[in-house]
Amino acid sequence: MIYHPNDFYSGLKIIWDGEPYSIEYSEFVKPGKGQSFVRVKMRRLLTGQLIEKTFKTTDTAEKADILDLDMIYLYSDGTFWYFMNKNTFEQIAADIKAVGDNIRWLSNDIDYTVTLWNGKPIGVTPPNFVELTIISTNPPLKGDSIGSGNKLATLSTGAVIKVPYFFQEGEKVKVNTRSGEYVARVK
């Protein structure tokens, strides 16, 4: 399927310069007496980077064969990270390029969105918020129970985040995976 920039909509996945992009914003621009064009913000799916791009209205882009699947994380053999489709039990092996920085949020009890391009995994996205256990941190400081100030804590997935001083090992925290920041204590 071929798309013209005037038909781009937020969420559409296209191929540009041989790579898949996800359209986030697109705006028709026309100088009064001049040629019209389309100003687009789109995410480069292979890197996650948001880029700006100006299209001519006569440019064309093919629709990208992109599939987002809800999957659970199984295990890693060090080369691949294995995910399973909860409905079909089909397994998929993602390499480190697909998993990327999100490797630090992988846990067996969380569902992930695995993005496939032409059937091959190119991205793994955790939920916005995950709840994880602290496996290592310094003991709480005495008299600092109201939580002024932060310290580093390592979570069960290997992620290192800043948490308030009062946390102890074995406690659970809610974390924002987009910013990598502590959100709340989980009781």
Partner 1 sequence: MKHVVDNTWQPNASINNLFTRASIIATIRRFFSDRNILEVDTPSLSQATVPDVHIDSFQTTFFKPGVRTSKKELYLITSPEYHMKRLLVAGIGPIYQICHCFRNRELGPLHNPEFTMLEWYRPQYNIYQLMNEVNELIDKIIHCGIAEKISYQDVFIRHLNIDPLATPIKELKQIVKLLPGDSSNFINESYDTLLQLLLSHLVTSLVEFEKPIFIYNFPISQASLATINLDDERVAERFELYYQGVELANGFQELTDSIEHRRRFECDNNIRTIIGKNKQPIDNKFLTAIKQGLPRCSGVSLGVDRLIMIALKIKELRQVITFSIDRC
Which residue ranges make up the site for partner 1 (CB under 8 A)? 6, 27-37, 39, 51-57, 59
CB closer to partner 1, 33 vs 187: 33
CA distances from 45 to 19, 98, 105, 167, 179 (A): 8, 10, 19, 37, 18
CB closer to partner 1, 53 vs 172: 53
CA distances from 130 to 22, 30, 56, 184, 187 (A): 24, 44, 41, 11, 14
Amino acid present at 88: T
Q: How far apart are the first and last CA of the chain?
A: 50
CB closer to partner 1, 59 vs 131: 59
Give the span between the Cα atoms of 145 and 123, in whole angstroms.
40
Is 181 within 8 Å of 160 (Cβ atoms)? no
Rounded to a whole number of angstroms, the minimum distance from the CB of residue 28 to partner 1 is: 3
Rounded to a whole number of angstroms, the minimum distance from the CB of residue 89 to partner 1 is: 30
CB closer to partner 1, 62 vs 90: 62
Rounded to a whole number of angstroms, the minimum distance from the CB of residue 53 to partner 1 is: 5
Rounded to a whole number of angstroms, the minimum distance from the CB of residue 70 to partner 1 is: 22
What is the SS3 assignment for 10?
Answer: coil
Rounded to a whole number of angstroms, the minimum distance from the CB of residue 29 to partner 1 is: 6
Query: How many residues appear in the chain?
Result: 187
